[in-house]
């Protein structure tokens, strides 16, 4: 009998809270020490299609949300649009081709925002986990075995492969080099996609590569190169990418709020796998459908600290974005300042946290 009184008491408190808040969602009670994360936001009144543009394989939380049905529960039909040239994402958010975009802090993007594109960054998509092993510098095996290249201080004058020049990994490498009294100018940067770096290391056309998991493990297992630096140590909390919203979604906050709630549920499932090992094999299986990597390799990356993090509160590392922006400006890649207080809009992440409650 007492159990029913408690349940009715909770329902009464919830109803009163809902009325007093003008219909705002109320977080569910704790269940077994963990906040129940079935979304308390009512589904949108009609099925709403939104297009999410991203490079293939990188939109981790979106993939989890799609496969687990979190977007569907809120009447959102999320369609993935593969974008191989990320420079196209910002203008496509403005012209209506995309509703949301998966962006990195790159010079072309910053220049577009500085020129007044009315788009906002709203959610964390990926950042370096402090102490993680997601991004690394690898030395060609012959140079490593001979002792010629065992640390970043020995990169001076050498050819180093980077996926984009300039780009975030160049900033990581610059920070690593600064620790040993060098800068990025001390190396010869060679722009190569991640998938081509193994061949370049094997044939000796580059001496080192800045890469990420699971590519790093595959290169090492083939005896092509060896890790000499974990860049997470040099730039913890580096904001790798973030979710952007278009001008049309800025004008439809109810749709953006629904997306944020479903997205954050998925991000938390991802983080439980990464932080606590909860459901690793299932999450790895989901991601493998999109990144063309074997599920066992993805699961190993989770267990070995090789996956980047997603903030379970959805919040962006604004200090990191500012650092990258200043780095690009100092080197002439970005020509105008940006007011990040105007660019980063935390209201949707805050709303989602209010719906889902604290992360545990």
- The CATH number given to whatever domain includes residue 226 is 3.40.190.10
Report pLDDT for 12. 33
The last residue of one of the domains, among 213, 233, 253, is: 233
Q: How far is C-alpha 138 from the geometric centre of its chain's CA atoms? A: 22
210 & 301 share domain: no
Q: How much is the average pLDDT of 283-287?
A: 97
Report pLDDT for 37. 54
Q: How much is the average pLDDT of 92-98?
A: 91
149 & 180 share domain: yes
Range of the domain at 227: 135-233
pLDDT, averaged across the chain: 88
338, 325 in Cβ contact below 8 A? Answer: yes
Burial of 119 (0-12, 13-18, 19+ CB in 10 A): buried
48 & 99 share domain: yes
pLDDT tens readout for residues 206-261? 999 999 988 899 899 999 999 999 999 999 999 999 999 998 999 999 999 999 99
pLDDT tens readout for residues 301-355? 999 999 999 999 999 999 999 999 999 999 999 998 999 999 999 999 999 999 9
Q: pLDDT confidence of 53, banded at 50, 70, 90?
A: very high
pLDDT beyond 70 at 1: no
pLDDT beyond 60 at 7: no
Q: How much is the average pLDDT of 38-48?
A: 82
28 & 46 share domain: no
State residue 234 phi and psi, 5-degree precision.
-85, -25
Residue 132: other Cβ atoms inside 10 A: 21
Report pLDDT for 145. 97
185 & 263 share domain: no
Report pLDDT for 39. 52
The last residue of one of the domains, among 233, 266, 295, is: 233
What is the Cα–Cα distance from 133 to 360, expressed in whole angstroms? 23
pLDDT beyond 50 at 113: yes
42 & 103 share domain: yes
118 & 249 share domain: yes
194 & 45 share domain: no
Split into its structural domains, the chain has a count of: 3
89 & 42 share domain: yes
10 & 155 share domain: no
225 & 292 share domain: no
**3-state DSSP call for residue 256?**
helix
The last residue of one of the domains, among 195, 214, 233, is: 233
55 & 67 share domain: yes
DSSP 132: -
pLDDT beyond 50 at 35: no
């Amino acid at each position: 009998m007492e159990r029913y009184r408690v349940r009715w008491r909770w329902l009464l408190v919830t109803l009163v809270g809902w009325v007093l808040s003008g219909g705002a969602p109320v977080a569910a009670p704790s269940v077994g020490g963990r906040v129940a994360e079935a979304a308390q936001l009512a589904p949108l009144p009609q099925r709403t299609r939104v297009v999410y543009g991203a490079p293939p394989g990188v939109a981790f939380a979106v993939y989890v949300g799609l496969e687990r049905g979190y977007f569907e529960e809120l009447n959102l039909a999320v369609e993935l649009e593969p974008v191989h040239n990320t420079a196209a994402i910002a203008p496509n958010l403005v012209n209506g081709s995309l509703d949301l975009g998966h962006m990195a802090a790159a010079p072309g993007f910053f220049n577009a925002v500085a020129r007044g594109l009315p788009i906002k960054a709203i959610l964390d998509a990926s950042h370096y986990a402090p102490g993680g092993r997601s991004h690394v510098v690898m030395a060609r095996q012959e140079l490593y075995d001979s002792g010629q290249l065992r640390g970043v201080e020995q990169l001076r004058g050498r050819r180093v492969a980077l996926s984009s020049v300039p780009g975030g990994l160049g900033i990581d490498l610059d920070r690593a080099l600064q620790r040993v009294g060098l800068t990025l100018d001390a190396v010869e940067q060679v722009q190569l996609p991640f998938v081509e770096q193994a061949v370049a290391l094997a044939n000796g056309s580059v001496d080192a590569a800045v890469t990420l998991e699971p590519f790093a493990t595959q290169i090492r297992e083939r005896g092509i190169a060896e890790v000499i630096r974990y860049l997470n140590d040099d730039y913890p909390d580096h904001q790798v990418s973030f979710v952007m919203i278009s001008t049309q979604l800025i004008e439809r906050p109810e749709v953006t709020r629904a997306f944020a709630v479903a997205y954050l549920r998925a991000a938390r499932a991802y983080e439980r796998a990464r932080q606590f090992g909860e459901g690793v094999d299932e999450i790895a299986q989901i991601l493998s459908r999109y990144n063309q990597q074997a599920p066992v390799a993805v699961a190993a990356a989770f267990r070995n600290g090789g996956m980047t993090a997603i903030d379970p509160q959805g919040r962006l590392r604004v200090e990191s974005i500012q650092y990258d922006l200043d780095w690009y400006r100092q080197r002439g890649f970005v020509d105008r300042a940006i007011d990040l207080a105007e660019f980063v809009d935390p209201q949707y992440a805050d709303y989602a946290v209010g719906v889902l409650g604290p992360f545990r």
